[in-house]
Amino acid sequence: MPYLPARDFIGYGEQPPQAEWPGGAKLALNIVVNYEEGAEYSIGEGDGVSETILSDLAVSPAVPGLRNRNMESLYEYGSRVGVWRLISLFRDKGVIPTFYIVGRALELNPAAGKAIAALGSDIVCHGWRWIDYAPLSEEEERKHIAMTVDAVRKFTGIDPAGWYTGRPSLNTRRLVVEHGGFLFDCDDYNDDLPYLVEVGGKRHLVVPHSFDNNDSRFSRGSGLETGSQFFDYVSDGVDWLLKEGEKTPRMMTVSLHCRLAARPGRMIGLERFLDKIAANPDIWVCRRSDLARHWLSRFGG
């Protein structure tokens, strides 16, 4: 049996393509906001177990059949407070992020969809649920892809540009291409540039996501605790990529979660970062769909 999806350890090697970002920018920077709250594992959604990851809860063992109200309420913070705080900051700073939207989460809070659309954001579908898709059947995952697209269109009026499951199955990319209508997917973490792959005889664009420049570090025991520490880390990443961009312009993804980055003690660091990137003419601060369209115009698809 072939080992699929195949792994690629070579990529662009020593000669990555010249991105030629608009305006001669040395770095294309996309900020992603993950909207997942309410779609995580929970007893109320019929999962038989509560969520265990990506919150400020230090330790959360899975206890089958029992609700975890601490975890539930920490996720609720993202939809009740966090998403509005982030939208307000982005609006004030004139920076337009991409939103990764989980269909069920949007269904539970339709007002968020209207506000996201009003901000001018593009949307990447983030699955129907914020769960691990590996155990699901191909038929069920195919159904979830369609449900997510329908929910995004219904509650935002926007056609989603791309796809990112986050916890994908081995079938995910093939099913996304089969569904059609997406410019790209983001279910890889293996490059600082987009790249094309062949899926089912079709050329398909991958715009890699990042667990590196990601506020999930606040929840992973990485030692990252404050907004200032987060600013220092992502700021250093920008500075290095700008230096490298003198010869090879790259892309950078900064990923945020409404229940993590939007805590008051972390917002100052995010605000400082937005001010830094907005003031630098060598940085193209872009939506993910804009980045993808630029790449496809340069290298085809």
**Pairing mode, if any, of strands 195-199 and 202-206?**
antiparallel
Q: Classify residue 1: in a domain, yes or no.
A: no
Residue 155 tokens, joined: 């509650």
CB 130 within 8 Å of CB 103: no
Rounded to whole angstroms, the Cα distance separating 273 from 158 reads 28
How sure is the predictor about 61, in pLDDT bands with cuts at 50, 70 and 90? confident
- Pairing relationship of beta strands 184-185 and 202-206 according to DSSP bridges: parallel
The rounded distance, in Å, linking the Cα atoms of 18 and 14 is: 12
Average pLDDT of span 186-192: 98
pLDDT at residue 253 above 70? Answer: yes
Residue type, 262: A
In percent, how much of the chain has pLDDT > 70? 100
State the Cα angle at 182 between 181 and 185, rounded to 5°: 160
Q: Is 176 a residue whose pLDDT tops 80? A: yes
Residue 298 has pLDDT above 80, yes or no: yes
223 within some domain: yes
Number of domains forming the structure of the chain: 1
pLDDT of residue 62: 84
Report residue 222's pLDDT band, with 50, 70 and 90 as the boundaries.
Answer: confident
Residue 34 confidence (pLDDT): 98
Question: Exposure of 283 by Cβ count < 10 A (0-12 exposed, 13-18 middle, 19+ buried)?
Answer: buried
pLDDT at 301: 67
> Is the pLDDT at 221 greater than 80, yes or no?
no
pLDDT score for 32:
98
Residue 29, token pair as written in the block: 């920077």
Asked whether residue 79 is assigned to any structural domain, the reply reads yes
> In this prediction, what percent of the chain has a pLDDT beyond 90?
93
Q: For residue 3, tell me if it sits in a domain.
A: no
Tell me the per-residue pLDDT of 233-244, one tens digit each, with 9 for 90 and over. 999 999 999 999
CATH of the domain at 82: 3.20.20.370
pLDDT band, very low/low/confident/very high, at 7 (cuts 50, 70, 90)? very high
Taking the C-alpha atoms of residue 288 and residue 42, their distance in angstroms, rounded to an integer, is 30
Domain of residue 148: give its range: 22-299
Q: Say which residue, 5 or 108, is predicted with more confidence.
A: 108
Residue 200 predicted with pLDDT over 80: yes
- ∠ CA 263-264-269, nearest 5°, is 95
Considering the chain, what is the average pLDDT of its residues? 96
Strands (E), 140-234: 162-163, 184-185, 195-199, 202-206
Reply yes or no on whether the pLDDT at 157 is more than 80.
yes
Angle between the 264-278 and 83-93 helix axes, to the nearest 10 degrees?
Answer: 30
Q: What is the pLDDT of residue 58?
A: 72
d(CA 107, CA 179): 21
In a domain, 127, yes or no: yes
Which three-class secondary structure state does DSSP give residue 203? strand
Mean pLDDT of 116-135: 98
Query: How many CB atoms within 10 Å of residue 6?
Result: 7
Q: Would you state the pLDDT for residue 223?
A: 82
Does 112 reside within a domain?
yes
What is the average pLDDT across 189-207?
Answer: 97
- 275 domain residue, yes or no: yes
For residue 145, pLDDT beyond 70: yes
Cβ–Cβ under 8 Å, residues 130 and 64: no
The answer to whether position 189 is within a domain reads yes
